[in-house]
Amino acid sequence: MARGKIIVGSRDSKLAVAQSRLIMNQIAEAHPEIQLELVTMKTTGDLILDKRLDKIGGKGLFVKELDKALMEGRIDISVHSLKDLPMEISQELPLVAFSKRENPLDVLVYPEGAQSANEELPLGTSSLRRELQVKELYPDWKVESVRGNLQTRLSKLDSGQYGSIILAYAGISRLGLEKRISRVFTADEIIPPAGQGIIAVQGRKGEDYSFLDCLNDKSSEICAKTERAFVSYLDGGCSSPIGAFAEISGDEILIRGLYYNEDTKQYHKGKISGKTGDGENLAVELAKQLKDGK
């Protein structure tokens, strides 16, 4: 990898490009001597829009084309929403930086211009994790799957296919669409997926990525590894109905988790707290408790 020029790989959605530009701007500010080039590509996950992700192989479908380009040296780093990355990461393609975390919570979005949701129309969501939790809040509202990138889902909402949809605050914010948010769910109402709000940078084993020190956020890195430890223990891919959210306050960490039992179709929520340095061990302990139904 030539340090004078870095080729950045990204999915070609508007949100993915915006996130890649955020990373590139931070690198450029700290390292004006580095030339940066953005390469975008459409992934398998972007092409299959008529099925929920857990039915078609999970969110690994969003990364395999970028992984291939990284392995072949066609790009030097790839930029992802951390929540879209599988739990199993190749040792040849390590995660080398974690951005400062945007608001990690989920939000409810009404149709453009609407002051309330039409509950005669379905509530749209792209994940079983959200569906399970939102049914506690709106038990009588019919929930249906909505796929596509953020703009596609908003278009489906605004065209009258849904009464409201649930999205991630981070994606809405990074596209400057905060005015579309009608309700922000608390982490107790809807536990986010592991890594939501964090942008992850993936690289190649053996390369020097010290130039990324300018954007790596230590708190994000700790929370990311803690949340992913919870999911990994439960053998959950990033499309599994499992939620994990860690918050750091001083030297203390609070971890919320949601575990779904595929056999019984039941789910359990819980919390655990302790010293930040014990985050990953605490996450595994919480996962064990929830798996045992405690």
The tens digit of pLDDT for each residue in 171-197 reads 999 999 999 999 999 999 999 999 999
Distance CA 136, CA 129 (A): 12
**Run of H or E including 33:** none
pLDDT by residue (tens digit) across 116-159?
999 999 999 988 999 999 999 999 999 999 988 899 999 999 99
- Is the predicted pLDDT of residue 56 greater than 50, yes or no? no
- Please name the amino acid found at residue 89: I
Residues 164, 87, 203, 223, CA torsion sign:
positive
- At 38, which helix (H) or strand (E)? strand 35-41
In angstroms, the CA 138 to CA 245 distance is 22
Structural domains of the chain sorted by starting position, each given as residue range(s) with its CATH number in brackets: 1-99+198-216 (3.40.190.10), 106-184 (3.40.190.10), 217-294 (3.30.160.40)
Q: Indicate if the pLDDT at residue 236 is higher than 90.
A: no
Q: 66 CB contacts (<8 Å, ≥6 apart)?
A: 9, 10, 11, 41, 43, 75, 78, 80, 202
- What pLDDT is attached to residue 148? 85
d(Cα 27, Cα 20) in Å, to the nearest integer? 11
Residue 218's nearest CA partner among 100, 83, 102 is: 100
pLDDT at site 63:
84
CB 6 within 8 A of CB 27: yes
Looking at per-residue pLDDT, the higher value among 294 and 276 belongs to 276
Question: Which amino acid is located at 107 in the chain?
Answer: V
User: What is the average pLDDT score of the chain?
Assistant: 91
DSSP letters spanning 187-203: TTTSPPPTTTT-EEEE-
From CA 155, how far away is CA 177, in angstroms rounded? 13
Residue 198: CB atoms within 10 Å: 25
- What was the pLDDT predicted at 126? 81
Over residues 96-111, the mean pLDDT reads 97
Tell me whether residue 84 is one of the annotated catalytic residues: yes
- Catalytic residue of the set 54, 84, 213, 217: 84
Cβ-based neighbour number of residue 278 at 10 Å:
14
> Is a pLDDT exceeding 70 seen at residue 164?
yes
- The verdict on pTM exceeding 0.85 is yes
